[in-house]
Structure 1
Amino acid sequence: MIKTIKSFFYIIFLFSMNLSCAQDKFTYREVPDYFVKTMDVSSSVNLLKNKAFKVIDILPANYKKDASEDYSMYIQKALDENEIVLLPNFPLLVNDKGIKLNNNSTLLFDNGSQIKLKATDKGGYAIININNKKNVSIYNAKIIGDRNEHLGTKGEWGMGISINDAADVKIYNAVVKNCWGDGIYIGGKNFSSNITIIGGLIDNNRRNGISIIGGDNILLQNLVISNSNGANPQTGIDLEPNTQQNKKLNVSLKSVTTFNNNLNGLSFYLDNFKGNEVANNVQISIDNYKDLYSQNGISYSNRKSHIKKSLNGNIMLNNIDLKYNKKPFRYLYNNSSLDNINMKVNGFKSDHKDNDGIVADLQKFSKQKIKYNQ
């Protein structure tokens, strides 16, 4: 009888464990169409089309329109020889070397244009690479990574658009999906500057939707970043310097929505910004930000250090609306610190039962500048 009772409770335990795992398993959610905003750039695109070199003009005879053959070399040739390039009105396959944009270049996607990555086993790639370039524009991009067909298991650095030590980059209405790493990566050995990303959808990328490692005057506006899952931090927008050498984190988010990202909608991971010198380079403004269904709406990490110098700057949280999160605002790790960063919170709300307590905790944190997690 005792053995029977023990067996019964053991079965119940296993069932509860399996149920818990099932509940924690990531489930993809379709983003409602009305969430996705686009910027009307039609007049600019039409003018640029008249000046553009058409990639279709140099494709081989009997070219394929189903992205079944690698046409990377033709796209790259067009970009290397022309400042304004128009992709054809059908999908094109590119290999894991990706395509590289040059100074003073404009890449136009037509209504049916798409760049799709040929399946690779590489742990890192950039489908579109903007490396140490200036004055680059991309209109209406549609980029599909290989996460569903990826041939390897290692790495987390397969990027849809990679922007490194670049300046004056504008990206309008980009749709970037299914990359092995991030949808869009912004950083470099030092930082990128004057980067504007307006309109579009960054969806189902394996690591983050958008990573900002180092940047000065970075604007994200009217974007939806969704369903980031598979490799940590599994976050919609990850503000995470690698080292103090990244120097600047001057970022503005306006009317951005994160949706159903596996861990965080938005994360501040500032620990690596610290070094042997005081860094007065944190300027982050978040206005009219929404998250739905991510495990944590916003996650904050900056551990207090008695060895590394403190951070200075400002963080503004204005009109924040968080829904269906386990934790609307999470302090990651013990000993979370603002250092000398000034944080101002205006209009923070969530559907959590203790929203008032969360707001009070945030206000207390912004005044005391340090929080010891329980």
Structure 2
Amino acid sequence: MKNLLIFLLIVNLSCAQEKFSYKDVPDTYIKKTDVTSSFNNLKNQSFEVVKILPSNYKKDGSQDYTVYIQKAINENTTVLLPNFPVLINDKGLQLKDNSNLLFDENSQLKLKATDRAGYAIINISNKKNVSIYNVKILGDRNIHLGTRGEWGMGIRVNDANNIKIYNPIVKNCWGDGIYIGGKNFSSNVNIIGGLIDNNRRNGISIIGGDNILLQDLVISNSNGANPQTGVDLEPNNQQNKKLNITLKSIITFNNVLSGLTFYLDNFKGNEISNDVQIRVTDYKDLYSKNGISYSNRKSQIKKSLQGNIMLNNIDLKYNQNPFRYLYNNSSLDNINLNVTDFKSDHKDNQGIVTELQQFSQKKIKYNK
């Protein structure tokens, strides 16, 4: 009994030591892509939401203006949000085909406190040709009224095509900052520039996608509900069909479990899948427990995965595990893994590189 009490005390102390601590992202890490020209051209032809707000409208984000903004979106191709914070309820904003949503310099969508397990502050479902400029979203995680669920999203892109999101700043959502997927998959989605910070589940989840580009983004401080990861590539099932993704110049920073996760288990099914095409170039992680995590459990029933994963110019710092194989049976199946210029500050960096090379050759990694 005495030994058991000592063990429990050690476990409790260990858990206390691992309590999440928020870290500010250095300003020099955050990039903003220059869309000034296209933004100004669209702004000149936009409908200004402020024109249909009540005459005594408030500029402090305390008044719910969801119905007015939705009306503007429904009736116009290009919409300019008010140049001040506005409150949005948990119905969110439903965008439409062939449309543009513009955030002015001081625009921000703030979610009104809700007890809903899931929501989407901006919802792009079964839509095409949608562009959003200079997005600023503040979720309700700090004022959330319930305890259930983990599906409160800042931006949800479901079964959508040709979506462009420029310079998003998405913080404090109950679930993911940005969610990309659908019953099948979304295609031709570009998210360029910006900061995804302090969201409760993942910064960005990609469930299924063809020709998805994440570029010049910082994804940080994901904490609260597993997987607690910066960028999580995790199909729900084989119906998601495609995982054709490019990550370019991405920084993940101080995410609880992992900076970047390849969680491919659920992609397996009754047919061989040849649709894993993932390219990660100029990627950095700092302070996440695991820099990169990988899972594709070997199965005697489900068919194997095929495709390619390329990791080029990877730089991992201050991780407990720079590269972690999840579970005790991680397989590449017939995925070709190509790793060039992989480095970390871990004392056994060469051993990690050797393991990656062996993993690529042997196609399977057993953990004890």
Select which of 223, 227, 235 maps to 2:229: 235
Equivalent position of 1:139 in the other structure: 133
Q: Report the alpha carbon displacement of residue 22 of structure 1 after superposing the two structures with TM.
A: 2.3
The superposition leaves residues 282-329 of structure 1 with CA deviations (integer Å, 9 ceiling, x where unpaired) of 000000000000000000000011110000000000000000000000
The residue type equivalent to 1:175 in the other structure is I
Where do 5+ consecutive residues of structure 2 fail to align?
Answer: none
Q: Report the alpha carbon displacement of residue 12 of structure 1 after superposing the two structures with TM.
A: 7.5
- Verify: 1:46 aligned to 2:40, yes or no: yes
Q: TM-score, normalised by structure 1?
A: 0.96
Q: TM-score, normalised by structure 2?
A: 0.98
Where do 5+ consecutive residues of structure 1 fail to align?
Answer: 1-6
Distance 2:253 2:44 in 1: 38
Taking a change above 3 Å as real, the CA distance of residues 300 and 14 of structure 1, as seen in their structure-2 partners, is closer
- Verify: 1:168 aligned to 2:162, yes or no: yes
Please report the RMSD computed on the Cα atoms of aligned residues, expressed in angstroms: 1.4
Q: Helix, strand or coil: the match of 2:167? A: strand
Equivalent position of 1:65 in the other structure: 59
Q: Helix, strand or coil: the match of 2:14? A: helix
Select which of 129, 142, 167 maps to 1:148: 142
Distance 2:291 2:329 in 1: 20
Moved more, 18-27 or 300-309: 18-27
The superposition leaves residues 238-287 of structure 1 with CA deviations (integer Å, 9 ceiling, x where unpaired) of 00000000000000000000000000000000000000000000000000
Select which of 89, 106, 111 maps to 2:100: 106
Q: Helix, strand or coil: the match of 1:208? A: coil
Select which of 258, 267, 274 maps to 2:252: 258
Select which of 286, 289, 293 maps to 1:292: 286
Select which of 258, 274, 277 maps to 1:280: 274
- Verify: 1:191 aligned to 2:180, yes or no: no
Q: Helix, strand or coil: the match of 2:361? A: helix
Count of residue pairs the alignment pairs up = 368
After the TM superposition, which parts of structure 1 deviate over 6 Å for at least 4 consecutive aligned residues?
7-15
Q: Helix, strand or coil: the match of 1:76? A: helix
Moved more, 343-352 or 18-27: 18-27
Distance 2:185 2:338 in 1: 25
Distance 1:194 1:67 in 2: 33
Q: Report the alpha carbon displacement of residue 19 of structure 1 after superposing the two structures with TM.
A: 3.4
Equivalent position of 1:4 in the other structure: none
Equivalent position of 1:200 in the other structure: 194
Select which of 168, 173, 177 maps to 2:171: 177
The residue type equivalent to 1:213 in the other structure is I
Distance 1:335 1:359 in 2: 19
The residue type equivalent to 1:345 in the other structure is V
Q: Report the alpha carbon displacement of residue 21 of structure 1 after superposing the two structures with TM.
A: 2.0
Q: Report the alpha carbon displacement of residue 17 of structure 1 after superposing the two structures with TM.
A: 4.3
The residue type equivalent to 2:45 in the other structure is K
The residue type equivalent to 1:321 in the other structure is D
The residue type equivalent to 1:117 in the other structure is L
Q: Report the alpha carbon displacement of residue 335 of structure 1 after superposing the two structures with TM.
A: 1.3
Structure with max Cα Rg: 1
State the percentage of identical aligned residues.
Answer: 75
Q: Helix, strand or coil: the match of 2:194? A: strand
